[in-house]
Structure 1
Amino acid sequence: MKKALWGECLAEGIGTFILIFIGVGTVASMVTAGITMSFWELSIAWGLAVTIAIYVAGFISGAHINPAVTIGLAVWGGFDKKKVIPYIISQIIGAFLGAAVVYGLYQEAIKIFEKTKGIIRTADSGWASAGIFSTFPKSYLTTFEAFCVEFAITALLMIVIFAVTDNDNGAAPKAGLPALAIGITIAICGISFGPLTGFAMNPARDFGPRLFLIAAGWGTNVLGPHMYGLIVPIFGPIIGALFGGGVYKKLIVPFFPKPQVEPHGKDFKKVS
Structure 2
Amino acid sequence: MSKTLWGECLAEFFGTFILIFIGVGTVAAMVTADISMSFWELSIAWGIAVMIAIYVVGSISGGHINPAVTIGLGVWGGFDKRKIPHYIASQVIGAFAGAAVVYGLFRNAIINFENTNEIVRSTESGWASAGIFSTYPKPYLSTMEALFVEIAITAFLMIVIFAVTDKKNGAAPTAGLPAVAIGLTIAICGISFGPLTGFAMNPARDLGPRIFMMISGWETNVIGPQLYGLIVPIFGPIIGAVLGGGIYKKLIAPYFPVAKQESMDKDYKKVS
- Provide the TM-score with structure 1 as the length reference: 0.95
What percentage of residue pairs aligned between the two structures are identical? 76
Q: Say whether 1:33 aligns with 2:72.
A: no
Q: Partner of 2:215: helix, strand, or coil?
A: helix
Partners of 1:106 and 1:122 in 2: how far apart?
19
Shift of 1:5: 0.2
Pairing 1:32-71 to 2, within 5 Å after superposition = 32-71=32-71
Are positions 1:18 and 2:18 aligned together? yes
Which stretch of structure 1 is more off in the superposition, 177-186 or 251-260? 251-260
In structure 1, give the amino acid aligned to 2:23. Answer: G
In the alignment, residue 42 of structure 1 is paired with which amino acid?
L
TM superposition shift of 1:24: 0.1
Distance 1:253 1:218 in 2: 46
> Which residue number corresponds to residue 138 of structure 2?
138
Q: Structure 2 vs 1, CA of residues 113 and 242 (structure 1 numbering), >3 Å: closer, same or farther?
A: same
Check if 1:169 corresponds to 2:158.
no
Letter in 2 for 1:127: W
Structure 1 CA distance for aligned equivalents of residues 90 and 254 of structure 2: 34
Counterpart for residue 82 of structure 1:
82
CA shift for structure 1 position 260: 6.2
Q: Could you tell me which residue of structure 2 aligns to residue 270 of structure 1? A: none
Q: Which amino acid aligns with 2:241?
A: A
Residues 70-109 of structure 1: pairs in structure 2 closer than 5 A: 70-109=70-109
CA distance in 1, matches of 2:4, 2:254: 34
Q: 1:193 to 1:219 in 2, by over 3 A?
A: same
Partner of 1:235: 235
Give structure 1 regions of 4+ aligned residues with deviation exceeding 2 angstroms.
Answer: 258-261
Shift of 1:257: 1.3
- Aligned twin of 1:269: none
**Structure 2 equivalent of residue 179 of structure 1:** 179
Q: Which residue of 1 aligns with 2:268?
A: none
Residue 5 of structure 1 is matched in structure 2 by: 5
Task: For 1:168 and 1:48, locate their aligned partners in 2 and report how far apart those are by CA, in whole Å.
Answer: 27
SS where residue 217 of structure 1 aligns? coil
Q: Unaligned stretches of 5+ in structure 2?
A: 266-272
CA displacement at 1:34 relative to structure 2: 1.1
Amino acid in the other structure paired with 2:239: I
Residues 129-184 of structure 1, C-alpha deviation per residue, up to 9 Å, x if partnerless?
A: 00000000000000000000000000000000000000111000000000000000
Deviations 1:173-215 (A, max 9, x none): 0000000000000000000000000000000000000000001
Over 3 Å counting, the alpha-carbon distance change for 1:260 and 1:21 in structure 2 is closer
The answer as to 2:181 corresponding to 1:195 is: no
- For residues 16 and 199 of structure 2, the distance between their equivalents in structure 1, rounded to whole angstroms, comes to 16
The answer for the alignment partner of 2:216 in structure 1 is 216
Normalised by the size of structure 2, how large is the TM-score?
A: 0.95
State the distance in 2 between where 1:257 and 1:156 align: 22
Q: Give SS of 2:174's match.
A: coil
Counterpart for residue 110 of structure 1: 110
Distance 1:6 1:257 in 2: 38
Counterpart for residue 157 of structure 1 = 157
Question: Per the alignment, do residues 126 and 58 of structure 1 end up closer, same or farther by CA in structure 2, a change over 3 Å counting?
Answer: same
Letter in 2 for 1:20: I
3-state DSSP class of the match of 1:34? coil
C-alpha distance in 2, partners of 1:43/1:129? Answer: 19
Aligned equivalent of 2:206: 206
The CA deviation at 1:40 is: 0.1
Structure 1: any 5+ residue segments left out of the alignment? Answer: 266-272
Distance 2:2 2:35 in 1: 45
